[in-house]
Amino acid sequence: GDIRLLANLKEVEEPFSKTQIGSSAMAYKRNPMRSERVCSIARYVMGLPNGAANTHANQWFERTLDDSAIRRIYLPEGFLAVDVILNLLSNIADGLHVWPNVVKAHAMAELPFMATEVILMECVKAGGDRQELHEAIRVHSMDAGAVVKGEGKPNDLMERIANDPLFKAVHDKLDTMIDPILFVGRAPEQVDEFLADEIDPILETNADLLKIDSVDGVNV
């Protein structure tokens, strides 16, 4: 689901073959068809346990066989469906394409709003009145948001703050205060730790399996 949402924002794209048709109606589209298929099949798989639960709730005593027919359906179909999902996910991960410049553009459009708390604190440290500064930032933020949403123009919040003498204490460092790296916390380290502690051991344990070429193809 997240890949589909990010594809809509043009931040990522799943694999797309040279002759693949993204949409039968609109030739320019690159629909995330693999991810759509995963979501569709996953929805089916998530519904299968209901059959087992209903059987368990309604089965008579121990010797009735009213579970037999339905088990012959949901057990094999569940495994087969999940196998297809895993095959699709492997294919998607292997060819996933990220567009960093689009991601950066979206991040930079929102970062001025996120940076207002830091700007406020820095100005208070420099002796500014917190309530007065807070109200000024609120007004500037609302006005900048109105320009973005009402006129379709870029976010000009930083320009508004740069032109307001109330924020003179940070005027010379506004550009550095909206550096995206300042807002990611420990995310890079957490990713590295997760890969080292969780993923790498799994890959090492299953190294022989990973050498086996898959015979399942993905057709879109």
pLDDT at residue 63 tops 70: no
Structure tokens given for 100? 């960093």
pLDDT digits (tens, 9 = 90+) for 101-127: 999 999 999 999 999 999 999 999 999
pLDDT-based confidence at residue 78 (cuts at 50, 70, 90)? very high
Asked whether the beta carbons of 116 and 137 are under 8 A apart, the reply is yes
Model pLDDT, residue 10: 93
Please give the sequence-ordered ranges of beta strands (E in DSSP) within the chain, or none if there are none: 12-13, 97-98
Of 131, 119, 123, whose CA–CA distance to 182 is shortest?
Answer: 119
Cβ-proximal residues to 96 (8 Å cutoff; 6+ apart), any chain: 3, 12, 13, 14, 15
Q: Which two tokens stand for residue 189?
A: 């380290």
Helix, strand, coil % in the chain, rounded to nearest 5: 70, 0, 30
pTM value is 0.76
- Secondary structure letter of residue 30 according to DSSP: -
What angle in degrees, to the nearest 10, is found between the helix axes of 68-95 and 33-47? Answer: 150
